[in-house]
C-alpha cells in the first residue's frame, strides 16, 4: 500500500512538473524576441543609423592610402580589418570589404533585405497556401482533387528551378527571391491546413452556419480562416528561418539577390573566399547575423507551436 | 482495400503527369539553350544544326508529345551539355547521392535523437535550450559556410580528410563486384559532406523527437508504466522512444529523398558527384532534358514513397483494410 | 666488273640515296607557284624513360563528354584542352609557333588559294594500332559537323586522295582563310578521327569511349565529374613523361585552392580574384600569369543619335575615367598589363598597344569631365546598364565607381553566364536601349575572326557599323595580296581604337597554379605555358610530375 502511494505521489509530481513546464511555456522566450526586435529596429532605421552608404566605397584618408598602397591618393582602401586588429580603424569598426565599402553599414542595410525577403516571401507563401488548403478541405470533391494533385506535384519541384526561371524571365533582382519563396513554399501550408479544415468542417458551428444558409465565402473567412490561423502561424514562424537560408544558398549559386545589394546571404557567398586569405570578418559577421535571425525565429516558432497547439496546451 | 489502393495509384499517376507537364513548361521558359551554347562567332548554320540535334526546331506541342511518349518508354533524352543519355548519367550518379544522403540521415539521427530526448526529459530547463540550440545551429548557418569552414579546418589545416569528391570507388551498374563494396569504401571522403548535411537535418530530427516524446511522456500509458515501477531509464529507452519512432521514421524517410535529390549546395562545395550537381549544371546551362530528368526522377521517387506509405497506413487502419 | 668499281658505285648510291630520298620527301605535291607558309617543324623528341606518376587537373566547370569528339567541335577553346590529350591534328599551335606540323609533315597551298595539299608523316597509327591514312583525313573533313562546318562544305569542290599519305583539297573559289581555319586552334576539322572506329560505335559510343592518335589514351570517365587518361608510348612525337592524367570538373574557386593545398590537385586554372594573394604567398604553390586576352568595353547602339555615347568625346571620357593601374592592382594583384588594343599582343598582325603602335590608355578624370562638358553633359549623365563579363561582377563595380567619379552614373546588370552569352551573340538586338556599356573578353586567336565578329556591320556580336570600316573590310575580303591584307586589317584596328568604339582596359591574366609535385622545380615550370594563344598549357606529352 505504501509503495503504491509513494509511486502515486511521484507520478503526481511528474504531472505537476509537466503542468508547470507548460505553464512556463506560456511565458514568451525573452532572448529570441529581443534579438528579433533589435534586428527589426536596425532594419527600419538603417538609413539613419548607418555611418556610410552601403553601395559606395568609404573615402579614404591620405594616410590610409599611403599605408596600404604607398600612393598619395586612392579611390578606396579594401579589406580593412575590424577596429581591434592592427590595421583596423574606428572609422570602419567592422572593417571594409573587397570593394572598400563599410561592413557595418552594409550589415544594417542588409537587415532590411533579409527581413523583407524572408517575411514578405513567407507571408505570401502562407497566404496562398492557406487559402488553397481551405478551398481544398472545405469545398471538397473536384477542388480537393485538383488542388491536392497540383500540391503534390509542386512539393517535389526544387527551389533552384524557380530561381533560374525567374532570373531568366525577369532578370535577377530582389523581388525574384520573394517570388521564389512564395512560389516554392505555399505547398507546405496547403497539406497541413487542408487536414485541419477537414476536421473543422464536421464541427457544429460550421454545420449550423451551413444550415442557416450562410454563403460559403463567408463561412471560409468568418469561421474557417481564424481557426486555421494557429497552424498557419506556427508554420510561418518556422519557415522564416528556412527562407533566410534559402536566400543565402541562392545567392551562393548566383541566382539570389544580385550584387551590389548588401543582402547578408550575398555578402557571405561573395566574400567566403576571404576565409582562405585571412579576411575572415567579411564572411563571419554576416554569418553571425543570419545565425541570430534564424535561431531566434526558430525558437520563437517552437514556443508558438507549444503555445498554440490545443493538445499540448490543455493538458 | 483494393479500391483504396487503386485510387491512390491513380492519384500518383496524375501527380506525375502534372509534374512532367509543369517542368516541361518551366524549363522552356528559362531561355534558349542554343543561343546560350553558341559562343560568339558561331555561324548560324552551326547553331541551326544544334537546334535540330536537340529537337528544339519542332513546334511546342510536337515536342511535348514526343517528350511524354519517350517518358513512357523510360527515355529521358540526351543531355544537351553532357552529350550522353540522361538516364545513363543520372543512374551513374544516383548511388553517390544515396550514399551521401543515407550517411547524412544516420548522422542526423545520431545527433538529433539523443538531443531531442535530452530536451524532452529536461523540458524547459537549461538542457532543453542547449539541445535545441545545438541542433538549430545546423539549420541556421548556411551550408556553404559550414562546408568551407570544415574544408579549411579539417581538410587544409589538419589534413584529416580529403576535400575533393567521393574517392576512387564507384558504383558501376555493369560490374557486380562494386555493388556491395561501394557502400563501405572511401569513408574519409564522405565524412565532411555527410556531417554538413546531417547537421542541417538534425534540427528537424530534434524537433520531432522532442515533441513526440513529450506527447508520449504526458500520456496515460507512460503514467501507468511508471506506476508499475519501471525504472526511469527503461521508461526512456523502451517505452517512450519506441512509441515516438513512427513519426520520426516517416518524416525521416521523406527527408532522405529530399536530401538525396536537392543537396545542391553541399555537392557543389565538396564537389560530390551527385544528382544535385546534375540539377545545378543542367539549370545553369539550360540543359532541358537533364533538368526534366532529374526533377522527374526525384518526383517519381517521392510519389512512389508516398504511395507506399499511404498503402501501409491503409493496411494498418482497419476501417480501410476491411472496406471493399 | 671489278670489286673497286662495285664499291665505287655502292658508295655513290649510299651518298646520294639519302639526298634523293630527302628530295622525294621535299617533292612538291601541287603544281605551280605556292603561297609561302610559315609552318614550324614538330621537334620530335627522344623520350626520357617510361611515363610515370599522375597529374590531376581541375577544370573550372563541369566536364562535357562531347568535348572528346572533334567532329562536333565547339567554338570555345575549352575543347582543345582535350583535343591535345587524345587526338592529334594536321597542323596545330605548339611552343614552336602558331602553325606547327603535327600529323602532317608538309603542307602546300597554291598561290591562287584554290588548292591545299598535305602529306602525312609515315607510320602514323591510332591508339588501337590501326593505321592513320589520308582516308581518315578525308572522312573527318566530310563528316565534320562542328563550328564553321558549313564554310568548309560550301567551299569544297572535291577531295583527292593521291596515296595513303597524300591528300589534296580542291576548292570552288579562292579560300584564303583555309589554313587559319584548318589550324587545330580554330576548328575541329583538322583533328583527325578514326573512320573505322567512329562508324562502329557511333556518336554516343565515341563520346563515351573515344579513340584518337594523340599522346594519351582514354581510360574512363564519369560524365561531368572526371576523365582519366593514360600515356600512349607509341605517340610519334615522344613517349609522354607522365603516365596518368586525371581531369576533374570543380566549379568552386575555394575548393580548387583547397585541393591544391592538400595535394589532391596538381594544376588548376582561373585562380584570379580574391584567392590570388593566398596563391602568391603559399610556398608550395607556383603560378603562371597565363595571359589570355584583353578586357574591353563596347557601346551597343552608340550610333543612334539619342544615345549618350553617340559622340566620340563621351566615349573618350569613359576611357579616361578608368583608373586602370589601380584596377589591375585590385583585380590581379598587379600582374595584369594595361594595353591599348582589344586584340591580344600574341596575335602577330595585331597592333601593339604598348605605346609603340597604339598608345597606352591614360587615366585623366579632369580631362574626362572637360570632354563631357564640351559634349553637352556638364553635370555628367545617367546611363542604364553596365553589363560585366560573367562572373567578374566586382570588376564591374570598380569600373562603375571610376565612372561615377567623373559623373557617368549607371547600374550593374548581373546575369548568368549563359544569359550573358545569349545576349552578346545577338549583337545589337541583344540589348534594349542604347544606354548600355558591355564589358567583354575573347581569348580566341585570330585578328580577322575578332573583327569579323565584333566590328563588321551586322555581324553576330557586332555593335559597330561604320562606313569607313566596311570599306576597308570589303577591300580586305577581296584582296589576295598578303601585304595589302595586313595593311588593311591594321587600319581597321586603328580606326576602332582611335574613335573609341572599343575601349581596352587591361590584358587579363587567367592565372594557372601548379602544386609542388609538378616538375621542373621552381619558376621554370612556366615553360609549359610557352604555346601562344593557349589559355591552357598544352601540349601534354611534356608534362612531368614527381612520383
Contact call for B261 and A287, based on CB within 8 A: no
Query: In sequence order, which residues have a C-beta less than 8 Å from that of residue B203 and are 6 or more positions away?
Result: A298, B112, B135, B136, B138, B139
For C340-359, give one letter per residue: b (16+ CB within 10 A) or e: bbbbbbbbeebbebbeeebe
Percentages of chain B per state (helix, strand, coil), in multiples of 5: 75, 0, 20
Q: Which residues of A touch B203 (CB under 8 A)?
A: 298
Q: How many CB atoms lie within 10 A of CB B144?
A: 25
Q: What is the rounded distance in angstroms from the CA atom of residue C294 to the CA atom of residue C395?
A: 14
Which DSSP string corresponds to A154-186? HHTS-HHHHHHHHHHHH-S-HHHHHHHHHHHHH
CB C339 within 8 A of CB C394: no
- Does A153 have pLDDT greater than 60? yes
Which chain A residues in 140-169 lie under 8 Å from chain B, judged by CB atoms?
Answer: 145, 148-150, 152-158, 160-162, 164-165, 168-169
Sheet holding C156-163, edge to edge: C104-109, C115-120, C166-171, C156-163
Strand partners, C217: C230
Nearest to A200 by CA among A121, A138, A110, A115: A138
Burial A168-200 (b: 16+ CB within 10 A, else e): beeebbeebbbbbbbbbbbbbbbbbbbebbeeb
CA of C426, closest CA in chain A: separation in Å?
Answer: 16
Which residues fall within 8 angstroms of residue C411, CB to CB, at 6 or more apart? C384, C385, C386, C400
Q: Which three cell numbers stand for residue C8?
A: 665505287
Residue of A69, A99, A258 with shortest CB distance to C414: A258
Number of residues assigned to chain B: 324
DSSP C109: E
Three-state DSSP class for residue C307 = coil
Q: Is A260's Cβ below 8 Å from some Cβ in C?
A: yes
Whether a cis peptide bond, with omega within 30° of 0, leads into C271 is no
B157-210, pLDDT tens digit by residue?
888 888 888 888 888 887 788 888 888 888 888 999 999 988 888 887 887 787
* CB contact at 8 A, A285 and A291: no
DSSP C273: G
Interchain CB distance below 8 Å, B273 and C222: yes
Q: Which of A132-141, A199-208, A286-295, B249-258 has the highest mean pLDDT?
A: A286-295
Q: Which three cell numbers stand for residue B32?
A: 534558349
- pLDDT tens readout for residues C13-42: 666 555 554 444 467 888 888 888 889 998
Alpha-carbon separation of residue C441 from B230, C355, C421, C507 (angstroms): 76, 21, 11, 9
The pLDDT of residue B242 is 64
CA distance C257 to chain B (A): 10
Nearest CA in chain C to B189: C264
Nearest-CA distance B41 → chain A (Å): 23
String of DSSP letters for C156-178 = EEEEEEEETTEEEEEESS--TTH
Tell me whether residues C453 and B151 touch, CB distance under 8 A: no
- The residue in chain C having the minimum alpha-carbon distance to the alpha carbon of residue A258 is C414
* Strand, helix or coil for residue C383: strand
What pLDDT, on a 0 to 100 scale, did the predictor assign at position C315?
A: 93
Rounded to whole angstroms, how far apart are CA atoms B82 and C63? 7
Closest residue in A to C254 (Cα) is A273
Which of C145, C248, C421 is opposite residue B39, by nearest beta carbon? C421
Residues 6 or more apart whose CB falls under 8 angstroms from that of B105 comprise B198, B201, B252, B255, B256, B259
Of chain C residues 113-152, which have a CB less than 8 A from chain B? 145-151
Query: Rounded CA gap, C186 and C73, in Å?
Result: 9
Flag if C149 and B45 touch (Cβ within 8 Å).
Answer: yes
Going residue by residue through chain B, which has 324 residues, state the pLDDT in tens, using 9 for 90 and above: 778 888 888 888 888 888 899 889 888 888 788 877 767 767 777 788 888 888 888 888 888 998 988 888 888 888 888 888 888 888 888 888 888 888 888 888 888 888 888 887 777 777 778 877 887 888 888 888 888 899 889 988 888 888 888 888 888 887 788 888 888 888 888 999 999 988 888 887 887 787 777 777 777 777 777 777 777 766 666 666 666 666 666 666 666 666 655 588 888 888 889 888 888 888 888 888 998 988 888 888 888 887 887 777 777 666 666 654
Specify the pLDDT at position C12: 66
Question: What value does the mean pLDDT take over residues A67-78?
Answer: 83
pLDDT tens digits, C165-189:
999 999 999 998 899 889 888 888 9
The answer to whether residue A24 scores a pLDDT higher than 60 is no
Beta bridge partners of C297: C439, C503
C-alpha cell of residue C541? 606529352
Whether residue B296 contacts residue B71, with contact meaning beta carbons closer than 8 Å, is answered with yes
In C345-392, where does DSSP find H-type helix?
Answer: 365-374
Tell me the C-alpha to C-alpha distance, in Å, between residue B14 and each of A33, A149, B202, C319, C356. Answer: 44, 7, 33, 60, 71
Helix (H, G, I), strand (E, B) or coil at C26: coil
Which residues 153-212 of A have a C-beta within 8 angstroms of C? 164, 167-168, 171-172
Residue with cell 564537389: B271
Q: Name the grid cell of B60.
A: 511546342
Q: What is the tens place of the pLDDT at every residue in A25-57?
A: 556 778 888 999 999 999 999 888 888 888 888
Residue A299 has its nearest CB partner, among B132, B215, B302, at: B132
Contacts of A7 in chain B (CB under 8 A): 226-227, 229
Q: Which residues of A touch C413 (CB under 8 A)?
A: 171
Q: Which residues contact C466 (CB under 8 A, 6 or more apart)?
A: C303, C457, C495, C499, C501
The low-confidence residues of chain C, meaning pLDDT below 70, are 1-4, 6-7, 9-26, 47-48
Q: Which long-range contacts (CB under 8 A, 24 or more apart) does B31-34 make?
A: B31/A168, B31/B286, B31/C418, B31/C419, B31/C422, B32/B56, B32/B286, B32/C422, B33/B80, B33/B285, B33/B286, B33/B287, B33/B288, B33/C418
What's chain C's average pLDDT? 88
Q: Smallest CA–CA separation between C41 and chain A, in Å?
A: 45
CB of A72 closer than 8 Å to CB of A65: yes
Share of chain C above pLDDT 70, in %: 95
Nearest to C286 by CA among C266, C270, C272: C266
**CA distance linking residue A94 with residue A106, whole number of Å:** 10
Closest CB from C248, C258, C454 relative to B151: C258
Give the three-state DSSP class for B11: helix
Predicted pLDDT at A313: 45
- Would you state the pLDDT for residue C511? 92
A·B CB contacts under 8 A: 147
Interface residues of C toward A, Cβ cutoff 8 Å, are: 253-254, 257-258, 273-275, 277-278, 323, 326, 329-330, 391, 393-394, 397-398, 401-402, 404-405, 412-416, 419
Distance CA B21, CA B4 (A): 26
Whether residues C248 and B36 touch (CB distance < 8 A) is answered with no
Amino acid at each position: 500500500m505504501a509503495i503504491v502511494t509513494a509511486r502515486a505521489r511521484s507520478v503526481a509530481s511528474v504531472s505537476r512538473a509537466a503542468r508547470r513546464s507548460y505553464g512556463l511555456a506560456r511565458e514568451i522566450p525573452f532572448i529570441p524576441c529581443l534579438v528579433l526586435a533589435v534586428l527589426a529596429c536596425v532594419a527600419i532605421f538603417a538609413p539613419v543609423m548607418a555611418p556610410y552608404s552601403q553601395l559606395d566605397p568609404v573615402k579614404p584618408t591620405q594616410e590610409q592610402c599611403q599605408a596600404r598602397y604607398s600612393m598619395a591618393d586612392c579611390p578606396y582602401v579594401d579589406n580593412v580589418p575590424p577596429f581591434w586588429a592592427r590595421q583596423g580603424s574606428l572609422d570602419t569598426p567592422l572593417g571594409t570589404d573587397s570593394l572598400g565599402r563599410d561592413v557595418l553599414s552594409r550589415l544594417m542595410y542588409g537587415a532590411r533585405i533579409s527581413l523583407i525577403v524572408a517575411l514578405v516571401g513567407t507571408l505570401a507563401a502562407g497566404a496562398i497556401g492557406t487559402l488553397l488548403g481551405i478551398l481544398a478541405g472545405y469545398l471538397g470533391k473536384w477542388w480537393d482533387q485538383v488542388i491536392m494533385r497540383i500540391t503534390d506535384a509542386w512539393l517535389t519541384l526544387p527551389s533552384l528551378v524557380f530561381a533560374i526561371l525567374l532570373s531568366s524571365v525577369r532578370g535577377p533582382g530582389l523581388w525574384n527571391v520573394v517570388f521564389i519563396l512564395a512560389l516554392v513554399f505555399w505547398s507546405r501550408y496547403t497539406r497541413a491546413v487542408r487536414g485541419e479544415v477537414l476536421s473543422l468542417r464536421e464541427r457544429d458551428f460550421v454545420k449550423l452556419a451551413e444550415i442557416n444558409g450562410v454563403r460559403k465565402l463567408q463561412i471560409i473567412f468568418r469561421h474557417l480562416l481564424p481557426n486555421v490561423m494557429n497552424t498557419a502561424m506556427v508554420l510561418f514562424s518556422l519557415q522564416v528561418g528556412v527562407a533566410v537560408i534559402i536566400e543565402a544558398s541562392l545567392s551562393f549559386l548566383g541566382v539570389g539577390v544580385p550584387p551590389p545589394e548588401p543582402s547578408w546571404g550575398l555578402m557571405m557567398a561573395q566574400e567566403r573566399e576571404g576565409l582562405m586569405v585571412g579576411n575572415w570578418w567579411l564572411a563571419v559577421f554576416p554569418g553571425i547575423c543570419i545565425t541570430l535571425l534564424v535561431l531566434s525565429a526558430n525558437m520563437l516558432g517552437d514556443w508558438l507551436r507549444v503555445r498554440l497547439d490545443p493538445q499540448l496546451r490543455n493538458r | 482495400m483494393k479500391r483504396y489502393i487503386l485510387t491512390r495509384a491513380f492519384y500518383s499517376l496524375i501527380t506525375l503527369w502534372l509534374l512532367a507537364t509543369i517542368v516541361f513548361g518551366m524549363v522552356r521558359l528559362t531561355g534558349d539553350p542554343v543561343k546560350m551554347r553558341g559562343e560568339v562567332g558561331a555561324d548560324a548554320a552551326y547553331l541551326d544544326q544544334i537546334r535540330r540535334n536537340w529537337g528544339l526546331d519542332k513546334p511546342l506541342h510536337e515536342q511535348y508529345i514526343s517528350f511524354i511518349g519517350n517518358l513512357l518508354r523510360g527515355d529521358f533524352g540526351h543531355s544537351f551539355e553532357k552529350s550522353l543519355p540522361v538516364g545513363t548519367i543520372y543512374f551513374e550518379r544516383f548511388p553517390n547521392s544515396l550514399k551521401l544522403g543515407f550517411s547524412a540521415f544516420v548522422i542526423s539521427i545520431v545527433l538529433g535523437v539523443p538531443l531531442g530526448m535530452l530536451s524532452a526529459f529536461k523540458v524547459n530547463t537549461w538542457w532543453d535550450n542547449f539541445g535545441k540550440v545545438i541542433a538549430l545551429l545546423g539549420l541556421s548557418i548556411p551550408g556553404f559556410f559550414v562546408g568551407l569552414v570544415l574544408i579549411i579546418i579539417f581538410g587544409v589545416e589538419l589534413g584529416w580528410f580529403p576535400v575533393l569528391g567521393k574517392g576512387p570507388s564507384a558504383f558501376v551498374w555493369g560490374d557486380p563486384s562494386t555493388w556491395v563494396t561501394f557502400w563501405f569504401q572511401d569513408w574519409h571522403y564522405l565524412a565532411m559532406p555527410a556531417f554538413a548535411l546531417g547537421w542541417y537535418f538534425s534540427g528537424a530530427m530534434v524537433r520531432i523527437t522532442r515533441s513526440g516524446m513529450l506527447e508520449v511522456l504526458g500520456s496515460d500509458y507512460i503514467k501507468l508504466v511508471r506506476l508499475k515501477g519501471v525504472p526511469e531509464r527503461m521508461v526512456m529507452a523502451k517505452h517512450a522512444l519506441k512509441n515516438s519512432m513512427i513519426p520520426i521514421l516517416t518524416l525521416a524517410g521523406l527527408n532522405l529523398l529530399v536530401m538525396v535529390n536537392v543537396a545542391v549546395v553541399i555537392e557543389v562545395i565538396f564537389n560530390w558527384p551527385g544528382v544535385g550537381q546534375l540539377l545545378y549544371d543542367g539549370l545553369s546551362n539550360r540543359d532541358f532534358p537533364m533538368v526534366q530528368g532529374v526533377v522527374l526522377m526525384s518526383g517519381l521517387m517521392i510519389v512512389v514513397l508516398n504511395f507506399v506509405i499511404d498503402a501501409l497506413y491503409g493496411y494498418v487502419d482497419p476501417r480501410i483494410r476491411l472496406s471493399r | 666488273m671489278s670489286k673497286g668499281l662495285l664499291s665505287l658505285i655502292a658508295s655513290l648510291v649510299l651518298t646520294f640515296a639519302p639526298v634523293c630520298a630527302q628530295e622525294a620527301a621535299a617533292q612538291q605535291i601541287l603544281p605551280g607557284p605556292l603561297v609561302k607558309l610559315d609552318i614550324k617543324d614538330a621537334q620530335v623528341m627522344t623520350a626520357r624513360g617510361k611515363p610515370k606518376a599522375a597529374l590531376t587537373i581541375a577544370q573550372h566547370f563541369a566536364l562535357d563528354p562531347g568535348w572528346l569528339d572533334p567532329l562536333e567541335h565547339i567554338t570555345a577553346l575549352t575543347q582543345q584542352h582535350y583535343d591535345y590529350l587524345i587526338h592529334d591534328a594536321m597542323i596545330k599551335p605548339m611552343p614552336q609557333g602558331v602553325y606547327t606540323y603535327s600529323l602532317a609533315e608538309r603542307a602546300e597551298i597554291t598561290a591562287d588559294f584554290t588548292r591545299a595539299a598535305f602529306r602525312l608523316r609515315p607510320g602514323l597509327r591510332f591508339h588501337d594500332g590501326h593505321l592513320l591514312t589520308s582516308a581518315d583525313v578525308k572522312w573527318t573533313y566530310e563528316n565534320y559537323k562542328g563550328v564553321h562546318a558549313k564554310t568548309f562544305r560550301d567551299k569544297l569542290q572535291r577531295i583527292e586522295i593521291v596515296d595513303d599519305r597524300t591528300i589534296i583539297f580542291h576548292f570552288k573559289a579562292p579560300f584564303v582563310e583555309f589554313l587559319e581555319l584548318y589550324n587545330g586552334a580554330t576548328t575541329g576539322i583538322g583533328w583527325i578521327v578514326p573512320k573505322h572506329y567512329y562508324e562502329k560505335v557511333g556518336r554516343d559510343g565515341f563520346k563515351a569511349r573515344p579513340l584518337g592518335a594523340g599522346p594519351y589514351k582514354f581510360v574512363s570517365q564519369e560524365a561531368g565529374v572526371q576523365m582519366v587518361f593514360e600515356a600512349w608510348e607509341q605517340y610519334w612525337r615522344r613517349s609522354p613523361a607522365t603516365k596518368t592524367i586525371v581531369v576533374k570538373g570543380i566549379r568552386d574557386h575555394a575548393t580548387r585552392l583547397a585541393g591544391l593545398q592538400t595535394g589532391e590537385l596538381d594544376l588548376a586554372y582561373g585562380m584570379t580574384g580574391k584567392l590570388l594573394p593566398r596563391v602568391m604567398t603559399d610556398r608550395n604553390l607556383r603560378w603562371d600569369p597565363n595571359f589570355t586576352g584583353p578586357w574591353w568595353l563596347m557601346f551597343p547602339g552608340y550610333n543612334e543619335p539619342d544615345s549618350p555615347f553617340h559622340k566620340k568625346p563621351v566615349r573618350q571620357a569613359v576611357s579616361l575615367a578608368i583608373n586602370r593601374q589601380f584596377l589591375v592592382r585590385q583585380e590581379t594583384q598587379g600582374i595584369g598589363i594595361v594595353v591599348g588594343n582589344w586584340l591580344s599582343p600574341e596575335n602577330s598582325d595585331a597592333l601593339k598597344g604598348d605605346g609603340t603602335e597604339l598608345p597606352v590608355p591614360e587615366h585623366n578624370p579632369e580631362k574626362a569631365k572637360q570632354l563631357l562638358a564640351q559634349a553637352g553633359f556638364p553635370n555628367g549623365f545617367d546611363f542604364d546598364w553596365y553589363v560585366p563579363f560573367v562572373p567578374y561582377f566586382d570588376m564591374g563595380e570598380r569600373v562603375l565607381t571610376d565612372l561615377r567619379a567623373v559623373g557617368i552614373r549607371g547600374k550593374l546588370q548581373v546575369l548568368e553566364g549563359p544569359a550573358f552569352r545569349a545576349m552578346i551573340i545577338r549583337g545589337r538586338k541583344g540589348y534594349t536601349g542604347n544606354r548600355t556599356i558591355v564589358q567583354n573578353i575573347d581569348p580566341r586567336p585570330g585578328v580577322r575572326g575578332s573583327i569579323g565578329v565584333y566590328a563588321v556591320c551586322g555581324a553576330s556580336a557586332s555593335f559597330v557599323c561604320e562606313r569607313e570600316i566596311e570599306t576597308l573590310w570589303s577591300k580586305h575580303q577581296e584582296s589576295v595580296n598578303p601585304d595589302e591584307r595586313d595593311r588593311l586589317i591594321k587600319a581597321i584596328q586603328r580606326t576602332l581604337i582611335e574613335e573609341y568604339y572599343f575601349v581596352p582596359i587591361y590584358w587579363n591574366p587567367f592565372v594557372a597554379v601548379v602544386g609542388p609535385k609538378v616538375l621542373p622545380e621552381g619558376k621554370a615550370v612556366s615553360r609549359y605555358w610557352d604555346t601562344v594563344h593557349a589559355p591552357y598549357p598544352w601540349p601534354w606529352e611534356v608534362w612531368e610530375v614527381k612520383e
